[in-house]
Structures are given as structure tokens and as C-alpha cells.
Amino acid sequence: MLSEAGEQVVSISFYNDTNTSAIAFERSDSVFINTAKAEEGAGSAGNVAHEFAHTLGFRHRFNLRLFSSGTVPYRVGELVESIVNGER
């Protein structure tokens, strides 16, 4: 409930790992961006918005994008990306 919402502090950290498929991940109110995956969208506005949605408690139904594309993190990321790209 919104009236019960409190302050949430989220930190963003960067790492460089070419040996993983992950472009970013969230853990314990921290967002980690893989700088080795910048060409794949790591650190883009949509990617950061997607990870921030995770810090608010939104998750994927499955770990595969094919089955998770309709979840809140992906939809928020896509919306932010479309705004940044002037599509909305």
C-alpha cells in the first residue's frame, strides 16, 4: 500500500565480466551493471529502469526473456527506452 511506502536507497555499481551472459542484475537494493556488455544494452536507461523495478519487488515469471517479456521489469524498461528514443 502506498501509504506504507518508505524511503528506499538503491546503489548502482559497475563490474566488468566478459564470461557471463548477464548485462546487469539486482541484489539487496543494489543494481550491478556489467560494463563488458554495453553493446548489448547494459547501463542503458531501459536496463537501469528494469533493474530498479526489481528493487521494488517485481520479478520475472521465468528466467528466460521469451517467457518474461510481459513482466513489470521488462515493460518498465521498454517504456523508458521508448521515451528516451523519442518514440513516446
For residue 86, give the C-alpha cell: 523519442
Length of the chain: 88
Q: Looking at the predicted structure, is the pLDDT value of residue 76 above 80?
A: yes
Measured distance CA(10)–CA(35) in Å, rounded: 19
23 in helix, strand or coil?
Answer: coil
- Quickly state the pLDDT bin for 1 (edges 50, 70, 90): very low
| Eight-class DSSP state of 79 | H
pLDDT digits 0-9 by tens, 12-39: 999 999 999 999 999 988 999 999 999 9
What's the predicted TM-score (pTM) here?
Answer: 0.82
pLDDT digits 0-9 by tens, 56-71: 888 887 666 556 678 8
The mean pLDDT value of the chain amounts to 87
